[in-house]
Amino acid sequence: MGGLVYYSSASGNTARFVARLGLAAERIPVSPSEPMPEPAGPYVLICPTYADGEGRGAVPKQVIRFLNDPARRALLRGVIASGNRNFGATFALSGKVISDKCNIPVLYRFELAGDDLDVARTVSGLQKFWGTECLMMA
């Protein structure tokens, strides 16, 4: 199976979700002074949404910094986005923004730290996704 890279702010919602997946994952640091992870192979990005009422700022600045590196961006295969349904149209908007910019699919969207069903769907979906990816790359 491919890798996972995620960003989680100080609130820790995304980090709690990723921990519940039980899969190896690299974290994009909150602090710009910390080194960025360097994925060794293809990966899926898990990203929260931080949009204002107009949808601006949906993708966290550290995620933009991470993806601005061409080598890291070239290994990105899909995105899973989180958000808060209270924000309506901007729910999990970071996934759509990253998908559109990087030409990769949005694989799943979940709210806040997700629930047991979100965890099960994500693990199952990633297994299927990477299985398909391997067939496509063969």
Tell me what percent of the chain is helix, strand and coil, each rounded to the nearest 5.
45, 20, 40
- Mind listing the pLDDT tens digit of every residue in the chain (138 residues)? 689 999 999 889 999 999 999 999 999 999 999 999 999 999 999 999 987 777 788 999 999 999 999 999 999 999 999 999 988 889 999 999 999 999 999 999 999 999 999 999 999 999 999 986 544 443
* pTM for the whole structure: 0.92
Residue 73 · residue 38 · CB < 8 Å: no
Exposure string over 86-112, b if 16+ CB within 10 A, otherwise e: ebeebbbbbbbbbbeebebebbbbbbb
* Secondary structure of residue 111 in the 3-state scheme: strand
